[in-house]
Structure 1
């Protein structure tokens, strides 16, 4: 269930059944800060992260069941700071017309059947552990007053610290009612007595719901004297007062806010259409936290649902309004759709004002401006310096720099979470304008080139030298002299620093040394390695240069030299034998490797973008951090090759052989395509295929571990006898894919999968999920499916003949016309499954759950083994029912 809510409103849901009706309980809650002049809302996450452990509720905020009577709760401690007597005090709480008092004492003990004097205390937590109780006392087993303890070498019985003023303890044999303001746990007898009684009718018709004679007072957590029996909702707008429960304030007073909680759900009907419905919420609980002057306000309600566990409710929206300022239902639907957008929805996460009135939003991180600090201050100064330099250069050309670079005017854009959507829109507009301007400039250049087609041959040769990475002699000499001057200056400054400071280095001097320059160059090279396939194709290398580079390779091979770090871009390497060659770090982009042999070659960090790889042998070659993007290898042999962290984006492989190859952490695969390729016995680890296409290819006997297929298309593919461990298929199309006799563990076939004519016949599948997946006519016959989740899947006409599906879940699954003949379904959960026309003859359903299954006259259950099978409750729409034989 998707949840859309502001930071300052919490919302919890719980499905339940009552009187043969399925409903969804809804509870919205807020944390209110009363420390300021007016109450304000603060993020509800503070409750679970900081407050809940101190609220004496065993970590349970609420049962999320609709309370029919409003109530108040109090969590905190008693303080003696406001009186002379430090051994005891009275605490009192008044909410509207309800008032309750308690007496609080320091530690006391029974000594010779008399009560010792209470010891002084500064604060005493008002919790059930300090009220009357003890081992064997069901009303409060965690309390004190029953059972002896060894204290300071003396066996004695402690007395409770908290008592009811009108029922104080006077005898060690007394069993008074525990005193407190905290919620009463549901298993305490005084609350559990409302649960109702068991009956056979209930078991057969409504076993998932509460007993029909259940008293709804079971849902109330407060003691009876903290509830209003004559009201259906809290007396909002009324005052409350708490005495002696704040360390500095004798009496804390306030008013229950009259804020209104709104809640909407998106509910899906049987036809698949969705309705946006409002859930009526009433203020039912005020939970005071006087020690910090906060309070928790709870609103309860419920809505009818079609499914027992409310699977038909897809989303929920929660908000708070002020009285007299209602917002339209359409507004909340718009906010829901806006926040549900996968691309921009997260931008609204900190924008509480859409769902909470701004006047009651309390201070928190999202309301404070971001501390820009020195970083943005320095960036601003740098911007001014750059603008001044560029303005000076522009003015030197005779142009008006003020028109080209206008000064910024107007207020600064606010930097806070509230304005993230506007900031995003602004950046999108700027990006669009920039792209439009670049596009116009490209068109202008193309037009100019078309009007002036002639090219100076000498100029073209110089440009080609630049493309080929050659540095003119004059430039090379200048660079060499510059490096020498830089080194001399560095040495002089180091010597001066040592004389003045007696240190070895001048790390603060800020001059780049050779190591820094080398690191920078390596970083730039790495950036180029991983992004070259995104760049437009450069100027074609001349045939003369291509042949020169071929001669260079042959000469180095003749001398026994390696081929590392060479510029072989566009080189003509057709037919060459480069077996075991070390090509590490070389640029081979656009190179022609047709009919070449690179068996066992080291191609680590090699740039192969747009290279021509046809009928090329690359057996046992090493591709570590290699960029093979934007290439189209054909009939290439990668048998035994090692592919690690390489780039395959926008590449198309056809008729290639990857048998026995190993893939490790290959994640840059977007838009790669593989057709008529063989991956038999390949090992693939920690690899992600994104938006890829596989056609007419084989992964038989392959070993896959932690591999994801995201938005892929797989057609006519076989994984026969493959091992698929922790593999994931997401939003992909699988058409005629064969998983026969594969071993599949921890796999996920979920989320927007389109599976057609696939076979898992004889496969061994364990701990895998097909949740909500459409698997019509898929063949699982003779498969072993241990503890798999097929809940809410569509398996219309699927074949499960002779399957062993021990412990698997088919809850709410569409199994119409499916075949389970002679299947072992021990311990399976078929609750609420649609089994109309399903063939379950001779199936073993021992210890399975077939409650609420939908059978009709076309369902076949003859010979099904139903010993220890859960048959109830029955489904109301069913026209055929399970009939266990007398032997069973």
Structure 2
């Protein structure tokens, strides 16, 4: 079920059974401030406040319909003025509810009666401070029923702090009803007496639903004097007295909205989008925080006990008294949010699901959901990135025009002026317009470039010049290592001073200017920064020019001589060097610049290449056995058939866009290597060690990962036909929309593996694999071999396991809800306490299987389904609708 909601509404759902029908309840939570009740606050702020006010152990709402609307209040008594007082009267009034409580400081029974109350400034109005105590069914949490020992071990008999002014405690034997504003526990008789009868008939026919004779008013959790007479409108005024340290009297009103709720329900006749009517059945006030919550509740019947037939849920709020928005409006909102291109952005547009928003009447510290609300105002990152990209493209076009000898102002459009910063609400429309503007500017630039090339071609023809050569010359340069040199700049400065001195020109002295040493250090820092940027991003920069024939020959000889003499070339600029076929084993090239280097067939075994730039290098068939390549940049390099074995270390390296076809990385260390859009056809990664590798939209067909350590690795939208993960350790790795046929996972250790979002591995071989605690929900594993596999506590719900082989597999406590096990072989499998609710079991074999305490409720089999010699003690069985149950 996909939930569509605004950020300023909360939503809770619950599926439940009653008298043979399946129900689905939706609770819509609107959080509002007393000082500006029409301004709804972000849901995230609600849960933060409730964690403070209620603590971790108390449920805020049970998500069940309430026959009578009711009021709940969480807070403390706070004597006016903040001065400690022994007694404080509190009051809450809303609609027909007008309730007063008498709150007293701590007291104990003395010989002459109650002791003097201890003055207080704040006393929580909780059941632990009301009358009760151990053995008192109506409030076992309270005080006053019996004596206790204090912190010093002294026996005392405390009195309750919270009382009804009409039934004040007068002697230790009194047994008044406990008083408070909060919810009764479901196990207390005020509610438990309405549970109904849970006997053998219920267990056989109605489990796990409510008993047929249950009185659903048990979900009215508040005391009876906090239930309203008739329905609530939603804009009623209210008054709270002495429950805020600074405001003895708080007055406000409910927010004046109505809840709307819609679902897309899957039926036999197709999807149906329909409304679930809601009513306001709960008001929960938190006076000490000056905040409140109204809960709108809607309930409908469904055909599935777990709401599996609800595909989408849409919740909204509208202004009370304003015309209701049509169901078509909400249908369009849903369609927009489901759009793959624009859905994420449209999720920011709350106005489609909320009343028109007026600013709060006073500043509110919790008006914003998070710092994201400030992003569009303070940083405007989206707009700046769009503009920066456009300006870069236009500047590139202008540079090309200048190189062609043309006036760029006549041919290249200017970037549009920046517009006003959009709000998050305006952002979807704004970005759509910005994309259109960028596309239009790009088209203008492309058209201008095409015209300029045509003009250049005509000019070359008239002048008798070679057009292709002239065009290539204009497009040269822009790539390669940075040319800036701090040493050269300081040398130029020295020569300039000498020329001035020789010419008799006085050298000006600026007392604020840095010293030569300071200047040299600054220039060295700039040089290092430029080189670092090149090391990081050379693969996305324009490619470097190759050296001319003479320079290339000199570079080659320099490398040969250095290797022969054992001299290191760390940090050297060897761009475009041709070292094809050379034996350079053990050479030191750390941090060297080797962009477009020709190293095909070279022997680089044991070479030191950490931090080197090998962008666009040709390493076809090169031997890199045992080399060090930590943090090297091999982006766009050609490593076809290269040998990277012998424990080679590539941790932190970049292999973006690299061609790794047929390369052998067996035993390599690949921690956090960047493999974005690399080519892997026929590559081998057997026994590699890798943490947090990301394979994004790549074809890994035929790749060998046998015995690899792939910890927390991700395979996103990738193809994995015939991939071998046999014996691999894949703890906490993730497959998202990954697909592959005939993948092999034999004896793999894949605990906590995740396969999500329509991943599919039909015919996969998991023989003897460990998938304990993994989540394979919804994965297509048709025909998979899983004999002897361990999937204890794993989630295989909704998996396609048709004709799968699970002979002697172990799935203790596994989830197989709605799994399709048609024709599957589960002979001798251990499925103790496994949950197979609504599973398809036609033709499945459970011969000799252990199904002790397994849950087969509403699972469906046929005459061919076999439980011969299976252990079926205490199996839960509930007939499926329409028959066919096992």
Q: Decide: shared fold, TM above 0.5.
A: yes
Match of 1:760 in 2: 766
Q: 1:821 to 1:514 in 2, by over 3 A?
A: same
What's the counterpart of residue 393 of structure 1?
none
Partner of 1:142: 141
Matches within 5 A, 1:828-867: 828-867=834-873
Alignment of 1:14-25 (within 5 A): 14-25=14-25
Residue 738 of structure 2: aligned partner: 732
Contact 2:478/2:543 (8 A) holds in 1: no
- Helix, strand or coil: the match of 2:99? strand
Q: Which stretches in structure 2 are left out of the alignment for 5+ residues?
A: 396-404, 499-506
Q: 1:426 to 1:69 in 2, by over 3 A?
A: same
Larger mean CA deviation between 463-472 and 66-75 belongs to: 463-472
Aligned residues: 846
- Give the C-alpha shift of residue 776 in structure 1: 0.8
User: Given the superposition, is the C-alpha separation of residues 109 and 770 from structure 1 closer, same or farther in structure 2, using an over 3 Å criterion?
Assistant: same
Greater fraction strand: 1
Q: TM-score, normalised by structure 1?
A: 0.85
Secondary structure of 1:261's aligned partner: strand
CA apart distance, 1:529: 2.9
State the shift of 1:173 in Å: 0.9
Give 5+ residue unaligned stretches, structure 1: 391-396, 498-505, 882-888
Within the candidate set 674, 680, 683, 1:677 is matched to 683
- Asked if 1:876 corresponds to 2:886, the answer is no
User: What residue in structure 2 maps to residue 503 of structure 1?
Assistant: none
Could you list the per-position Cα deviations for residues 709-749 of structure 1 after superposition, in whole angstroms to 9, with x for gaps in the alignment? 22211222222233333322221121221222333222222
Matches within 5 A, 1:82-121: 87-112=86-111, 114-121=113-120
For residues 760 and 357 of structure 1, the distance between their equivalents in structure 2, rounded to whole angstroms, comes to 53
What residue is the counterpart of 1:443 in the other structure? 450
Query: Aligned partners of 1:182 and 1:523: how far apart in 2?
Result: 63
Matched, 1:554 2:553: no
Give 1:576 shift.
0.7
Aligned to 1:328: 326
Where does residue 664 of structure 2 map in the other structure? 657
Query: Residue 331 of structure 1 aligns to a residue in which SS?
Result: helix
Residue 501 of structure 1 is matched in structure 2 by: none
Structure 1 residue 113: deviation in Å? 5.3
- In structure 2, what is the Cα distance between the partners aligned to 1:511 and 1:338? 62
Of the three residues 491, 497, 508, the one matched with 1:480 is: 491
**Map of 1:531 onto structure 2:** 537
- Over residues 328-347 of structure 1, what are the superposed CA-to-partner deviations in whole Å (9 max), with x where a residue is unaligned? 22322333344455665454
Shift of 1:16: 1.4
Give a deviation string over 1:840-887, Cα, whole Å, max 9, x none. Answer: 1222212322232212222112221213x3223333344354xxxxxx
Contact 1:109-1:115 at 8 Å conserved across structures: yes
Conserved 8 A contact 1:22-1:304: yes
Deviates more, 1:48-57 or 1:684-693: 48-57
Pair 1:287-2:289 in alignment? no
1:9, CA displacement in angstroms?
1.4
Q: How far apart are the structure 2 equivalents of 1:349 and 1:839?
A: 47
* 8 Å Cα contact 2:667-2:685 kept in structure 1: yes
C-alpha distance in structure 1 between counterparts of 2:835 and 2:308, whole Å: 16
Q: How does 1:95-494 map to 2 (within 5 A)?
A: 95-112=94-111, 114-149=113-148, 155-228=155-228, 231=230, 233-247=231-245, 251-269=249-267, 274-322=271-319, 323-340=321-338, 344-348=342-346, 351-359=349-357, 362=360, 364-365=367-368, 413-444=420-451, 446-448=453-455, 450-451=457-458, 452=460, 453-454=465-466, 480-482=491-493
Gap change, CA 1:580 and 1:268, over 3 Å in 2: farther
Q: CA deviation at 1:115?
A: 2.9
Task: Write out per-residue CA displacement over residues 36-69 of structure 1, whole angstroms, 9 at most, x where no aligned residue.
Answer: 4x64322233332124543599532110111121
1:42: which partner in 2?
41
**Residues in 1 aligned to 2:415 and 2:481: alpha-carbon distance in whole angstroms:** 40
1:821, 1:119 → 2: CA distance? 71
Shift of 1:33: 2.0
1:806-840: CA deviations, max 9, x gaps?
Answer: 33221221111111122222332222211122111
- 2:632, 2:654 within 8 Å by CA — same for their partners in 1? yes
Write the deviation string for residues 514-567 of structure 1: whole angstroms up to 9, x where unpaired: 333333333322333333333455555544443332222223334432222233
Q: Is the 8 A contact 2:481 2:593 kept in 1?
A: no
Superposed, 1:533-612 pairs within 5 Å as 533-537=539-543, 539=545, 541-612=547-618
- The superposition leaves residues 103-155 of structure 1 with CA deviations (integer Å, 9 ceiling, x where unpaired) of 33333332225234445445543322221112221211222212224669874
Once the two structures are superposed, the pairs formed by residues 692-707 of structure 1 within 5 Å of their partners are 692-707=698-713
TM-fit CA distance, 1:99: 2.8
Secondary structure of 1:736's counterpart equals coil
Work out the CA distance in 1 between the residues paired with 2:415 and 2:726: 67
- What's the counterpart of residue 402 of structure 2? none
Aligned partner of residue 439 in structure 1, secondary structure? helix
Partner of 2:795: 789
3-state SS of the aligned residue for 1:800?
Answer: coil
